[in-house]
């Protein structure tokens, strides 16, 4: 029976695992550092909502909020115990407040909590990737403006085909990156919806105010169907698809710059080139080669995500614990690659 195991190691939601490899295999605490701040924000909004609805006492809410401040100040590395960051934060709050700290999780499941945290963090990361993409567009436009009459060969099949200008060439990539930005903005609209209040998948008998919690967290709206809200990760697939398309665009630009630098048409900045360990006269386009490689990684991450999601029944399945990592890795890579391409 749940709760009867005395060797709980501070874990709030006790389970059948007493130790061994299973507990470590199930744990995502280390990887969850990415959503540590997001979890604290979601906890705060949920506690404020609970107090405003008279589901928990205002005094208890104040104690919990103060405890969350302490947890934030101590940082993710101070957490111990629990399968994930959500349990670990709850355990830390209970250590500070006492049993009343457990009221923080009233009217909530980890299912809607996790989904909300992922969306909260991912939207921030997507905006960062968009900033990098916009900076690349600005760089392309600025450089193109300096070369509206600079003639260069245009290629088909990598063979010289027709004369064109450097501006024409650069702006062809600016238009592609603009479409990448539009796709990311569409994905952002689907990300920025709140599943909080959906609980495990069928809602909660408590009189929660989902709109208030969503507003406190800056979401545009609440998700209407609670089963869909807790279980879906299609927003990850949409975001990762847009990021992969963007990475492919960057890969094409990088490839052209590698080829053109070899032909003597362009010279990459020294800050974005390297030399050889044995041939110091060389100027290697290493950064562009790495930008080119990001597309391959992105395709792999997208394939991994879609394979994880394929065939999952409703509602929640533990497979989803491994889903969001694909998107987080790719959003980082794409943002870095765009920033490097803009500088080169």
* Predicted pLDDT at 3: 37
**Domain for residue 85, yes or no?**
yes
Q: For residue 263, what pLDDT band results from cuts at 50, 70 and 90?
A: confident
Is position 65 within any domain? yes
- pLDDT tens readout for residues 125-172: 999 999 999 999 999 999 999 999 999 999 999 899 999 999 999 999
Q: What are 48-57's pLDDT values in tens digits?
A: 999 999 999 9
Q: Name the nearest CA neighbour of 116 among 31, 195, 29, 213.
A: 195
Q: What does the pLDDT average to over 65-94?
A: 88
Between CA 207 and CA 212, with CA 208 as vertex, the angle to 5 degrees is 140
Q: Which of 52, 80, 106 is the last residue before a domain boundary?
A: 106
Instruction: Identify whether residues 267 and 328 lie together within a single domain.
Output: yes
Residue 95: give its domain's CATH number. Answer: 1.10.275.10
pLDDT score for 72: 94
Output the pLDDT for position 22.
Answer: 62
And the tokens for 239? Answer: 């975001």
For residue 255, the surrounding DSSP H or E stretch is helix 234-263
Query: Does 1 fall in a domain?
Result: no
Q: State what percent of residues in the chain have pLDDT above 70.
A: 90
Does residue 230 have an active-site annotation?
no
Instruction: Give yes or no for residue 202 having a pLDDT over 50.
Output: yes
d(CA 221, CA 134): 26
2: confidence class by pLDDT, cuts 50, 70, 90 = very low
For residue 116, which of 33, 225, 233, 205 has the smallest C-alpha distance?
A: 233
Q: Are residues 98 and 122 in the same domain?
A: no
Please give the residue range of the domain that contains residue 82: 21-106
Domain membership flag for residue 214: no
pLDDT tens-digit series, residues 266-303: 888 888 888 888 988 888 889 999 999 999 999 999 99
Task: For Cα atoms 248, 252, 258, give the angle at the middle one, nearest 5 degrees.
Answer: 135
Distance CA 126, CA 171 (A): 23
Same structural domain, 176 and 30: no
Q: What is the pLDDT of residue 196?
A: 97
Structure confidence by residue, pLDDT tens digits, 209-244: 999 999 999 999 999 999 999 999 999 999 999 999
pLDDT at 1: 33
Same domain? For 180 and 274 the reply is yes
pLDDT for residue 16: 53
Neighbours of 151 (CB within 10 A): 11
Same domain, 255 and 316: yes
The CA distance from 305 to 326, in Å, is: 6
pTM: 0.88
Options 139, 157, 226, 269, the catalytic residue: 157
Which band of pLDDT confidence, cut at 50, 70 and 90, is reported for residue 23? low
Residues 101 and 116 in one domain: no
DSSP, res 342: H
Q: Is residue 67 part of a domain?
A: yes
Q: Are residues 249 and 132 in the same domain?
A: yes
- Plot region of 207 (φ>0 → left; ψ -120 to 50 → alpha; else → beta): beta
Q: Which of 71-80, 133-142, 176-185 has the lowest mean pLDDT?
A: 71-80
**Is the residue at 156 inside a domain?**
yes
Q: What is the pLDDT of residue 268?
A: 84
pLDDT at 326 over 90: yes
Residues 150 and 73 grouped into a single domain = no
Buried b (16+ CB within 10 A) or exposed e, 207-240: ebbbebbbbbbebeebbeebbebbbbbebbbbbb
Helix (H, G, I), strand (E, B) or coil at 201: coil
The gap from C-alpha 42 to its chain's centroid, in whole angstroms, comes to 16
Average pLDDT over residues 318-329: 91
Percentage of the chain with pLDDT > 90?
A: 76
Q: In angstroms, rounded to a whole number, what is the distance separating the alpha carbons of residues 130 and 141?
A: 16
From 70, 91, 106, the end of a domain falls on 106
pLDDT at site 12:
45
Domain-embedded: residue 32: yes
The domain that contains 147 carries what CATH number?
1.20.200.10
Residue 112 clears pLDDT 60, i.e. is over it: yes
Rounded CA-CA distance 307/236 in Å is 13
Domain limit, last residue, from 106, 132, 162: 106
Answer yes or no: do 77 and 165 share one domain: no
CA pseudo-torsion sign 77, 47, 230, 203? positive
Mean pLDDT (whole number) for 5-9:
38
* 26: pLDDT strictly greater than 70: no
Looking at residue 220, the DSSP 8-state letter turns out to be S
Q: Is 157 a catalytic residue?
A: yes
180 and 231 fall within a common domain: yes
> Would you state the pLDDT for residue 83?
73
Q: How high is the pLDDT of residue 5?
A: 38
Are 309 and 322 members of one domain?
yes
For residue 208, is it within any domain? no
Q: What is the mean pLDDT of residues 71-81?
A: 86
Average pLDDT, the chain: 90
Number of domains in the chain: 2
Candidates 80, 226, 276, 326; catalytic one: 276
Both 30 and 54 in a single domain? yes
Contacts of 161 (CB under 8 A, 6+ apart): 153, 154, 155
């Amino acid at each position: 029976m749940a709760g009867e195991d005395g060797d709980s190691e501070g874990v709030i939601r006790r389970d059948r695992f007493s130790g061994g490899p299973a507990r470590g295999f199930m744990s995502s605490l280390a990887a969850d550092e990415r959503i540590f701040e997001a979890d604290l924000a979601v906890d705060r909004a949920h506690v404020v909502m609970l107090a405003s609805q008279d589901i928990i006492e205002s005094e208890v809410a104040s104690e919990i909020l103060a405890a969350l401040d302490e947890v934030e100040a101590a940082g993710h590395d101070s957490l111990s115990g629990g399968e994930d960051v959500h349990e670990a934060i709850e355990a830390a709050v209970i250590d500070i407040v006492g049993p009343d700290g457990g009221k923080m999780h009233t009217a909530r499941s980890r299912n809607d909590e996790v989904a909300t945290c992922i969306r909260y963090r991912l939207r921030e990361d997507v905006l960062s990737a968009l900033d990098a993409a916009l900076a690349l567009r600005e760089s392309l436009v600025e450089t193109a403006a300096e070369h509206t009459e600079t003639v260069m060969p245009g290629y088909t099949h990598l063979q010289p085909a027709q004369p064109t200008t450097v501006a024409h060439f650069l702006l062809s990539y600016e238009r592609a990156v603009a479409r990448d930005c539009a796709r990311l903005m569409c994905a952002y609209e689907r990300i920025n919806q709140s599943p909080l209040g959906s609980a495990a998948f069928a809602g909660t008998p408590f009189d929660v105010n989902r709109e208030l919690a969503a507003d406190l967290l800056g979401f545009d709206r609440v998700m209407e169907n609670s089963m869909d809200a807790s279980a879906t990760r299609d927003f990850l697939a949409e975001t990762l698809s847009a990021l992969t398309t963007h990475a492919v665009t960057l890969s094409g630009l990088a490839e052209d710059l590698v080829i053109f630098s070899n032909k003597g048409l362009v010279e990459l900045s020294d800050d974005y080139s390297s030399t050889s360990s044995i041939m110091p006269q060389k100027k290697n386009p290493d950064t562009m080669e790495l930008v080119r490689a990001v597309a391959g990684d992105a395709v792999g991450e997208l394939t991994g995500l879609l394979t994880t999601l394929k065939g999952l029944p409703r509602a929640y399945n533990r497979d989803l614990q491994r889903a969001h990592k694909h998107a987080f890795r790719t959003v980082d890579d794409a943002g870095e690659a765009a920033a490097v391409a803009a500088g080169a």
